[in-house]
Amino acid sequence: MAQPSPVKVLEVCRVAPPPLSPDSTTPKSLSLTFFDMLFLKFPPTQRLFFYETSHPTTTFLEVVVPKLKHSLSLTLQHYVPLAGNVTWAPDYSKPIIEYVEGDTVLLTVAESESDFYGLSGDNFCVAQNFNPFLPCLVGSETQLPVLALQVTLFPNVGFSIGYAVHHAVLDGKTTTMFMHSWAFICKQAGDSTLAPELIPMYDRTLIVDPCDLETKHLNFWLGKDGPGNKSLALWDMKARPDAMLGTFLLSQDNIENIKMWVRFQWEKKQLQKPSFHVSSFAITTAYTWVCLVKARQIRSEKVYLGISVDCRGRLKPPAPPNYFGNCITSVIVDADSDELAGEDGVAIAAKAIGKAIEGLKDGVLEGKGDMISKYIAIPPDRLFSIAGSPRFELYKTDFGWGTPRKVETASIAKTGAFSLSDSRDGKSWVEIGIVLSKHESEAFVSVFTSGLHKTSTHA
């Protein structure tokens, strides 16, 4: 017998941007750059923002929801492409982002009696429990929406805002800029003026493609499902039924202790000290990667770590921080799982990660023509990847009812990535989101905590 849904849908509505003025510079259509084309069929990014409030249902529907709708509409006048669709008509040589007057963003309003604090805590939670609070992108093989939203009330306790975004239109930096803009306008009680850093820059001429990566990516997608196949259907990646999501914190003190431990291992093994700076990011990802390899008990195998890199400041000439669209590339680091599981595993991982990032100085787009093929060739159970960044400042997304109690990157349940973000308390350097089976999650807790104890004792 089917279980009843944990959410009750109260309203399904469509929110449109105000009519564009004749002098508006916001484009109605945008070409996909080679950065965008890389993610053409990737599954959507889905996140949940949980806000702790004491609104009863009536107040929520009469005050909060209208305010969210109105501010969303005003925000969309700056982000018109988000109300449009990714379109690949038969006579188009490549897909485009297109807004037609009357296009809207689908917004679902729901209510739930589920455990708000259980969902918004740090302890491991069954990944499927988040699905009812997440919207989906529903379209056809020739047209898919860019954005869908869902607001869910937990009466007298709090509410969540969930989004699904098309990865071929937005990277994490642009998506976060939109969420910050929506929150900013909502908090300003209807004033649609944005701070300069939140106004999107749409100039596609900023993105130069000297290696013709657009053609390489386009040809890959056209040949993937048969020659000339123009389907926009996204990869249908499903989470394991036993997948669980959990959150772990690393403070700046933790990071510094791990750095000292890494230096100690280099000296102990008489490894040559790297000539490049080993950043907090490199230490965090190295420590998490090693803990995951140990928790999953991967033995005698080569394992890989895919690292996304923001190219905006690395391009020549650089693109501004508020550039709208994807502007990321990736580097792949590999190591022997037995070495990572050893005493100096974190030192080995940190050196490999730091070296790979340092290598980007020679040219951020060098050798990136077959990036999709490289990823596909790696066995999925040996590939680790990263979603998000502490630099996005997700916990500063305040709509006027306070900062989030929790931000959950729910889509990692499908991709298997681990997520990085700033922290709720503002004191820890990073929150790490992990997806594992129940057995693996218990092992991860043990490995993660014992590792921190070891490095703090050494420090």
Taking only the tens place, the pLDDT of each residue in 94-134 is 999 999 999 999 999 999 999 999 999 999 999 999 999 99
With 80 as the cut, is the pLDDT of residue 23 above it?
no
With 90 as the cut, is the pLDDT of residue 297 above it?
yes
Instruction: Write down the pLDDT at residue 264.
Output: 83
User: Is the Cα torsion angle 146, 39, 91, 231 positive or negative in sign?
Assistant: negative
Q: Copy the structure tokens of residue 145.
A: 């929406």
| pLDDT, average across residues 281-295 | 96
Of residues 23 and 279, more confidence is placed in 279
Of residues 80 and 228, more confidence is placed in 80
Buried b (16+ CB within 10 A) or exposed e, 362-400: eebbeebbebbeeeeebeeeebbbbbbbbebebbebebe
Point out the catalytic residue in the list 167, 171, 180, 344.
167
Q: Examine the residue annotation and report whether 453 is marked as an active-site residue of this protein.
A: no
Instruction: Write down the pLDDT at residue 275.
Output: 65
| pLDDT, average across residues 157-184 | 97
Report domain extents, the chain.
7-224, 244-458
| Residue 217 CB neighbour total at 10 angstroms | 25
What is the dotted CATH code of the domain comprising 7-224?
3.30.559.10
**Please, are residues 120 and 158 in contact by the beta-carbon 8 Å criterion?**
yes
pTM above 0.85, yes or no: yes
With 70 as the cut, is the pLDDT of residue 459 above it?
no
| pLDDT, average across residues 4-21 | 91
Instruction: Write down the pLDDT at residue 429.
Output: 82
**What are the CA-CA distances from residue 185 to residues 198, 202, 249, 380, 393 (Å)?**
11, 20, 31, 41, 17
Instruction: Write down the pLDDT at residue 266.
Output: 76
Total residue length of the chain: 459
**What is the fold of 244-458?**
Chloramphenicol Acetyltransferase (3.30.559)
Q: Examine the residue annotation and report whether 167 is marked as an active-site residue of this protein.
A: yes
With 90 as the cut, is the pLDDT of residue 278 above it?
no
Instruction: Write down the pLDDT at residue 426.
Output: 78
| pLDDT, average across residues 25-31 | 88
| pLDDT, average across residues 318-340 | 95
Same topology for domains 7-224 and 244-458, yes or no? yes
State the chain's mean pLDDT as an integer.
91
Instruction: Write down the pLDDT at residue 1.
Output: 43
Query: pLDDT tens digits, residue range 354-391?
Result: 988 888 887 787 777 778 888 889 998 999 999 999 99
Question: Binning pLDDT at 50, 70 and 90, where does residue 274 land?
Answer: low
Question: Binning pLDDT at 50, 70 and 90, where does residue 204 land?
Answer: very high
Instruction: Write down the pLDDT at residue 308.
Output: 93
Instruction: Write down the pLDDT at residue 93.
Output: 86
The string of DSSP letters for 292-315 reads: HHHHTT--SSEEEEEEEEE-TTTS
Point out the catalytic residue in the list 122, 242, 370, 398.
398
CA distance 316 to 299: 42
| pLDDT, average across residues 182-207 | 92
